[in-house]
Amino acid sequence: MASDFWLIVGLGNPGSKYEGTRHNMGFMVADVLAERWSVRLSDHKGLAKLGKGVMNLHGKTTKFFLAKPVTYMNDSGNAVASISAYYDIPAEHIVVVHDDMDLEFARIKVKSGGSAGGHNGIKSIDRSLDTNQYARVRMGVGHAKRGANTHANTVNWVLGGFGPDQRKQLPEFLADGADAVEEVIIDGLSRAQEHFNGR
């Protein structure tokens, strides 16, 4: 009997060194959701910070788990697979929030399935769950410079912080990301796609 819980996973890297970097967009959105729904996060098997909450929106009540894997980005799948197995949460009840360099800063796209687009956290989750049929809220962070040192530029970019203008927009962007997660869970993927993907 599959659980009626949802699992929301914000991706990022643990530790103060990575706080506020582009790669930690998922953690930041998770923090907004934790605050909104009074979720307290505590350790899950050394793999994630995990908490439980209840969402009341549009006359619907939904129970959910909120997770921030502490395995570092490239092994995020270990945490997600462990939580979904332990609580019997199917892939179609999982929403993963992550940074996306293919989208301009402050753009959000909601999708299910499809390619990992070079994102190591998503690749890890696809492998560990043995499926890509879960919802993703892609938070745009814009792209690094192309050219000779593309790989190094990309790494420095995702592990870098935001400029002053973007920092001003960040609270609203993170709130939008949290809204997108809620909409996937409460109103369904296609409603969330209609709302966010055309912006």
Q: Kindly tell me the sign of the dihedral angle through the C-alpha atoms of 101, 162, 121, 92.
A: negative
Q: Cα(122)–Cα(64) distance, rounded to whole angstroms? A: 20
Residue in 51, 41, 124 with CA at minimum distance from that of residue 87:
51
Q: Which sequence positions are flagged as catalytic? A: 23
115, 161, 184 from 129: Cα distances, Å: 14, 31, 20
Q: Cα(139)–Cα(98) distance, rounded to whole angstroms? A: 6
Strands 48-57 and 42-44: antiparallel
What is the Cα 3 distance to its own chain's centre? 21
